[in-house]
Amino acid sequence: MEAIGRLAGGVAHDFNNMLGVILGFAALGLKNLPAGDPLHRHFTGIVRAAEKSADLTRQLLAFARRQWSAPQVVDLNDAIGSMEKMLSRVVGEDIELQVVPGEGLWRVRIDPAQVDQILANLVTNARDAIADVGAITIQTANIAFDQERLGRHAEAAPGEYVMLVVSDAGAGMHKATQERIFEPFFTTKPEGKGTGLGLATVYGIVKQNDSFVCVYRRGR
């Protein structure tokens, strides 16, 4: 994962520079074209495609932990509360969104926009894992890890953490799938339905903020 992260970060950085040039020239073209000119529509399409590509590079940079951030002291319960209505719209009417805030939650230092990214990506993936009706639960809690309790999380350091858990009532996943879910561009969705960068972005943000991710599966 570290090697993939370095590769993804290098590619994304160079690609982002080229996108800046494309967007600049397209903006100049639009500026010199009247709205009724047939070429205006084509240049507008170039700008939109470049902006979407820039969004992908930002996700890759997040995975590679090179995303620019502005950390603040944040209460995760408040951050989740401010996102709850939006997340409810994301999951739809057939899925119940349950929020279980931990009491006396410690504050964390992180960019609030990164918290929004984590929640949006995890909840979207949880929604897609539910075939029909079901529930998604978001929980927070204070937790302390000593060396013994860390167990298989060799990349983590002992200490006190604020835990964010997103769980769903989906069918679960194969072990082979679980082992690859944080790889950029890996997806189990049909072609055109996903980029495979959502969970890679989560992984990068969490690592950038000196923490770690645990995945637990049920089913297969």
Judge if 44 and 105 occupy the same domain: no
Judge if 43 and 146 occupy the same domain: no
What span, in angstroms and rounded, lies between the C-alpha atoms of 181 and 203? 10
- Domain C-terminal end among 63, 91, 113: 63
Judge if 134 and 40 occupy the same domain: no
- Domain C-terminal end among 15, 43, 63: 63
Judge if 163 and 100 occupy the same domain: yes
- 183 located within any domain: yes
Judge if 82 and 171 occupy the same domain: yes
Average pLDDT over residues 97-112: 94
**Would you state the pLDDT for residue 96?**
92
3-class secondary structure for the chain?
A: CHHHHHHHHHHHHHHHHHHHHHHHHHHHHHHCCCCCCHHHHHHHHHHHHHHHHHHHHHHHHHHCCCCCCCCEEECHHHHHHHHHHHHHHHHCCCEEEEEECCCCCCCEEECHHHHHHHHHHHHHHHHHHCCCCEEEEEEEEEEEECHHHHCCCCCCCCEEEEEEEEEECCCCCCHHHHCCCCCCCCCCCCCCCCCCCHHHHHHHHHHHCCCCCCCCCCCC
- 26 located within any domain: yes
Phi then psi dihedrals of residue 148, to 5 deg: -70, -40
**Would you state the pLDDT for residue 62?**
60
The total number of structural domains in the chain stands at 2
Q: For residue 154, what is the domain's CATH number?
A: 3.30.565.10
Averaged pLDDT of the chain: 80
**Would you state the pLDDT for residue 7?**
58
* CA angle (51 as vertex; 47, 57 as ends), nearest 5: 145
Judge if 55 and 163 occupy the same domain: no
What span, in angstroms and rounded, lies between the C-alpha atoms of 39 and 45? 10
- 42 located within any domain: yes
pLDDT digits (tens, 9 = 90+) for 146-170: 777 666 666 778 889 999 999 988 7
Judge if 9 and 115 occupy the same domain: no
- 147 located within any domain: yes
Judge if 49 and 83 occupy the same domain: no
Q: In this structure, are residues 87 and 115 in contact, taking their beta carbons and an 8 Å threshold?
A: no
pTM: 0.67
Judge if 91 and 154 occupy the same domain: yes
Q: Which residue has the higher pLDDT, 219 or 3?
A: 3
**Would you state the pLDDT for residue 196?**
67
**Would you state the pLDDT for residue 109?**
93
- 127 located within any domain: yes
**Distances 174 to 56, 72, 217 between C-alpha atoms, Å:** 27, 37, 8
Domain of residue 144 covers 72-208
pLDDT digits (tens, 9 = 90+) for 26-68: 888 888 888 778 888 888 888 888 777 776 666 666 655 555 6
- 37 located within any domain: yes
Confidence tier at 25 by pLDDT (50, 70, 90)? confident
Judge if 51 and 82 occupy the same domain: no
Q: Would you state the structure tokens that stand for residue 132, as one six-digit string?
A: 């029909």
Judge if 137 and 58 occupy the same domain: no
Q: For residue 55, what is the domain's CATH number?
A: 1.10.287.130
- 121 located within any domain: yes
pLDDT digits (tens, 9 = 90+) for 174-214: 788 877 888 777 777 766 566 667 788 888 888 888 888 88
**Would you state the pLDDT for residue 124?**
87
Pairing relationship of beta strands 95-100 and 72-74 according to DSSP bridges: unpaired
The residue assigned the tokens 């297969």 is 220
Q: Would you state the structure tokens that stand for residue 3, as one six-digit string?
A: 């090697």
Judge if 136 and 76 occupy the same domain: yes
Q: Is the pLDDT of residue 6 over 90?
A: no
- Domain C-terminal end among 11, 45, 63: 63
- 217 located within any domain: no
**Would you state the pLDDT for residue 77?**
96
